[in-house]
Structure 1
Amino acid sequence: MTLPDTMRYIDLPTPGGPEAMTLANGPLPVPKDDEVLIRVMAAGVNRPDVMQRKGLYPPPPGASPILGLEVAGEVAALGPMASGFYPGHKVAALCNGGGYAEYVAVPCGQCVHWPSGYDALKAAALPENFFTVWANLFDMAGLRPEDSLLVHGGTSGIGLTAIQLARAQGSAVFATAGSDEKCAFIERYGASAINYHKRDFQQVVAEATGKRGVDVILDMVGGPYIQKNIKSLAPRGRLVQVAFQQGAKAELDLLPVMLKRLTITGSTLRPRTSAEKAAIAEALKHKIWPLLETGRVDPVIDRVFPLEEAAKAHALMEASTHIGKILLRVSG
């Protein structure tokens, strides 16, 4: 495969609003020993991208400063120690950065082949959500088929992924959303929806479970939800925190944690080592990819923007009116 001398990418000269991002031209990244160079066809837009754009989430040392944490495309070149892929292979990848570009270098362990029957857009909707949900909900929280689950932000990419994977194994699921339209969408996937503008989720969960509570809560809201989450957990329940859209700090009464023997945990993906991310990728290939290939689980895509309209994609993300993934189309 003949590589061009330069590529288009989204530059961020200074942190700011969506308009701070500009389309630029620059050199292609050079893959390190264990990396593959991917010709990007589509890239996912995620809230960490918005935080980085605002200057609140700097990339880890050694990562590309270009925005973008997930892509789908075609392997264009390999580092000398990279294995498992060849030029021309279609892959989805969890990036350490650099996804808003025509080419990105990614450790080979963070790449997976597209599920059978998928195109670039559907494949690009997978990495960030499925890596996050698997690592937090199934690996760390140990969600079992007999467990009940409460998902906050049920129509987000992560929320819909969590609902589908939990329902696929037979877990009962509650999910919150901010409109009747979003609640109706959630219920199509077998979850009991709670419109948080109309009902208190703590009260709904208590009534539905006979005051026992749910076994696991996946939360990306934080702030005032944290204490209510603790009160909504059943004995030996697990609260998993993956974001803090309403703040990371709250005043807590920890007595219920002791009395009910609760676990409070959480994580972020980006700071994890390549080996940790590769282990998640292996688990996904064996346990989740068959669900995708049979259609039992399917990513939900809201809107697709061309790369040069990344600012519009970020504005939609911040408006929180979307349902599912927002994507950038980079090349054919």
Structure 2
Amino acid sequence: MSNASPTLPSTMRAIVVEEFGAVEKALKLKSVPTPAPRPGYAIIKVKAFGVNHAEMHMRRGEWAESMPIIGIECVGIVVSALPSPGEQALEPGTPVVTLMGGLGRTIDGSYAEYTAARLSNVVPVPRALVAQLGWARLAALPETYATAWTCLFRNLGLQPGERLLVRGATSAFGMAAVKLAVNKGAVVSATGRSPERTEELKALGVHEVLREEGGALTERLILEGRKFDKVLELVGNSTVVGSLKLLRRGGILCLAGWLGGLDPIEFNPLLQMASGVYFSFFGSFVFGEDEFPLTDVPFAEIVGMITSGALESEPKRVFEFGEDGVREAHRLMEAGQAGGKMVVVVDSAL
């Protein structure tokens, strides 16, 4: 089937990773073939997409798998959809969010004017909510909030009144988790590297802000006899062993981020893990698999909380689509200066 039609051009603009490495060398704006319709996929006209740490690692060649067009999430409009047997059809013109399902990893991703996404990873959004939020605000939600919600309420089973430690809270992921946890009624302690972010975190309703100093923070909390019911570990390998020591008996840690890098560590549970605590892991790349359907994430409820003012989703930085915008977003992310969720707007028209 030809992918040329009145609504689907034969070519499109895309940011392509021509070779792994530095921003200027890796990220190039190219004209490439538009993805062709195929069973089980929706062709989406990309309106905006979020920028994520996973894509930085893909650009560097540090990820196990990646495609020339990276990008693990986006929001946009369905141009065509060909459901496989048993799948629900999506009408052309439907506003949607999509994330994971191989985007940027095994199929070309969202750094483009069009993308092909697995229907199992596409969620419709009411047009009225799109009009109320706008594409940029909507693009700040999919991967970040879906992952934060799953970590908090599935892996950790967070309940009102529980003491939660979020390590890496000033990241976009961390701030989304803080907002959801505070809204749930948890008592949240948040860590960050920058003292100037303290007031920002306090404004979100956290109980206390702790300066992230790796092992030094862990040892200080241990000396103070501090224990938490739940820990959301986003700094990663460099602090996770210490974080396990901060759990009460029956407490749960969920490892879901690697802000501190991907360097491997040696871990001996017999010597480094307290008895009676639980170590959980979540990788958002599983969204859309049978055991992790996107329908499990209450997107409508989350968007409703945002439109009502219970949650805030304003992106920290918004860039125009092109080499300059995408490169600048990656520079800021690499330097740890994003300050929150960054999005790129491809087409702002509603």
Shared fold, TM over 0.5: yes
Q: Unaligned stretches of 5+ in structure 2? A: 1-5
Q: What is the aligned partner in structure 2 of residue 216 from structure 1? A: 230
Question: Which one of the candidate residues 125, 137, 147 is aligned to 2:140?
Answer: 125
CA positional deviation for 1:312: 1.2
Moved more, 30-39 or 15-24: 30-39
Q: 1:150 aligns with which of 165, 169, 172?
A: 165
| Aligned-partner Cα distance in 2 for 1:280–1:146 | 27
Matches of 1:227 and 1:198, distance apart in 2:
11
Could you list the per-position Cα deviations for residues 285-328 of structure 1 after superposition, in whole angstroms to 9, with x for gaps in the alignment?
35433322322112241211222121111001011112211111
**What stretches of structure 1 of length at least 5 have no aligned partner?**
none
Shift of 1:78: 0.9
Aligned residue pairs total 325
- Once the two structures are superposed, residues 121-151 of structure 1 have per-residue CA deviations (whole angstroms, 9 ceiling, x without a partner) of 1111111111211222211121111321111
Q: 2: distance between equivalents of 1:48 and 1:219?
A: 16
TM-score (norm 1): 0.89
Which residue, 172, 175, 198 being the options, matches 1:183? Answer: 198
- Pick aligned residue for 2:122 from 106, 111, 125: 111
- The superposition leaves residues 58-87 of structure 1 with CA deviations (integer Å, 9 ceiling, x where unpaired) of 437xxx541101111111111143535321
Question: Any idea what the Cα deviations from partners look like across 1:22-50, whole Å, max 9, x if unmatched?
Answer: 00011111233222111001111100000
Distance 1:123-1:146 versus aligned 2 partners, 3 A rule? same
Q: Distance in 1 between matches of 2:249 and 2:160?
A: 17
Task: Return the match for 2:96 from 77, 91, 99.
Answer: 91
- Note the 1:1-332 alignment, pairs <5 A: 2-19=7-24, 20-59=26-65, 65-81=68-84, 83=88, 85-95=90-100, 96-97=103-104, 98-114=109-125, 116=129, 117-191=132-206, 192-197=208-213, 200-202=216-218, 205=221, 211-244=225-258, 245-246=260-261, 247-252=263-268, 254=270, 257-259=273-275, 261-277=276-292, 279-285=293-299, 287-308=301-322, 309=324, 310-332=326-348
- Which residue does the alignment assign to 2:3? none
Q: Is the 8 A contact 1:94 1:127 kept in 2?
A: yes
C-alpha separation in 1, matches of 2:320 and 2:29: 11
8 Å CA contact 1:121–1:329 kept in 2: the answer is yes
Contact 1:157 1:300 in 2 (8 A): no
With over 3 angstroms needed to count, the CA separation of the structure-2 counterparts of 1:35 and 1:144, relative to structure 1, is same
Q: How far off is 1:93 after superposition?
A: 1.2
- Matched-pair identity in %: 30
Supply the AA of the counterpart residue of 2:279.
I
Cα distance in 1 for partners of 2:274, 2:222 equals 19
- Following the alignment from structure 1 to structure 2, what is the Cα–Cα distance between the partners of residues 54 and 27? 24
Per the TM alignment, residue 255 of structure 1 is displaced from its structure 2 partner at its CA by 5.2
In 2, distance between residues paired with 1:200 and 1:167?
Answer: 26
282-291 vs 116-125, greater mean Cα deviation: 282-291
CA contact (8 A) 1:176 1:183 kept: no
Compared CA separation, residues 317 and 307, structure 1 to 2 (3 A): same
Give the letter aligned to residue 192 of structure 2: A
